[in-house]
Amino acid sequence: MTATRIDGKAFAAGLREKVAAHVARLKSENDLTPGLAVVLVGNDPASEVYVGSKNRQTLEAGMNSYEHRLPEETPEAELLALIDQLNADPAVHGILVQLPLPKHIEEPKVLAAIDPAKDVDGFHISNVGLLSTGQKAMVPCTPLGCLLMLKDHLGDLSGLNAVVIGRSNIVGKPMAQLLLGANATVTIAHSRTKNLAEVARGADILVAAVGRPEMVTGDWIKPGATVIDVGINRIPAPERGEGKTRLVGDVDYASAAEVAGAITPVPGGVGPMTIACLLANTVTAACRSAGLPEPEGLTA
């Protein structure tokens, strides 16, 4: 048996269509255009590509995109002043500061300066606290994308055993909170977990978010389990030529696909969902700011 391939690229395209439909309705019925501001400090090549993609997809969805590109040497105070300005701008409903920031800028201080209602990355401590106590929050984009795909594939998650390998603030912890909110029974595992493979084998839902290339192999997986691979790792690919690399996940896809019931590939799985969920979060933030009902199908 070969696992069903969960096509994140196709799912993300469908989510972006939903976002565009909601945006069109907000414009026509409420004269409201959601706006996303993205701030990039410096010229990290990967960040440049990512910010460009966010800008393009924001405009394609019919939203307003506000890009702020600052030099590498920008003082922290200047960045904080820009965030204050964006917090006060009623046309901006979502603010995203692209990470990583240059070393002279304190990331926690910058993230804390963003208005929690406009924190479409879901990293502000207020949103972290709201999510962990089961209240209405802005949810980090990658875990939100994972949950939407799981619900689409499995339907009701109640009572299923879920194991999240990884405890980062960006993916592992919020993923666990979302699964708890969906009434799954959740275990958070990590590098110090004893008998990690055995713990993983008990999972109906296995989410791998550790940043270790192909660590999770087929013998870690319960037959028929649904596997969500959050990892994006670049490894050498000498078969493609000298100096060439390829992308792999935290799961060894070939062996896992022989055991799992369903699995996300890398690339083309979780990755495309991140920007789609960023757009969804911006629409949700716009609706909340205007006191309008939250759009269906865009939130956890």
The tens digit of pLDDT for each residue in 152-194 reads: 999 999 999 999 999 999 999 999 999 999 999 999 999 899 9
- Which one is catalytic: 18, 57, 119, 121? 121
Q: Is 136 a catalytic residue?
A: no
Q: Is residue 67 within 8 Å of 55, Cβ to Cβ?
A: yes
Q: Is residue 138 within 8 Å of 122, Cβ to Cβ?
A: yes
Q: Using DSSP bridges, classify how beta strands 185-189 and 226-229 pair: parallel, antiparallel or unpaired.
A: unpaired
The Cα 200–Cα 53 span in angstroms is 34
Q: What is the pLDDT of residue 1?
A: 64
Q: Give the up-direction half-sphere exposure of residue 234: CA atoms within 13 A in the CB hemisphere.
A: 4
- Which one is catalytic: 18, 54, 173, 222? 54
Q: Is 84 a catalytic residue?
A: no
How would CATH label the architecture of 29-121? 3-Layer(aba) Sandwich (3.40)
- Residue tagged 């255009």 (tokens): 33
Q: What is the pLDDT of residue 237?
A: 85
Tell me where in the chain the CATH 3.40.50.720 domain(s) lie.
141-272
How would CATH label the architecture of 141-272? 3-Layer(aba) Sandwich (3.40)
pTM of the model: 0.95
> By C-alpha distance, which of 65, 73, 68, 104 is closest to 83?
68
Q: What is the pLDDT of residues 71-86, one digit of tens each?
A: 999 999 999 999 999 9
Q: What is the pLDDT of residue 127?
A: 97
Q: What is the pLDDT of residue 256?
A: 98
Using 50 as the pLDDT threshold, list the residues of the chain that sit under it: none
Q: What is the pLDDT of residue 109?
A: 97
Tell me where in the chain the CATH 3.40.50.10860 domain(s) lie.
29-121
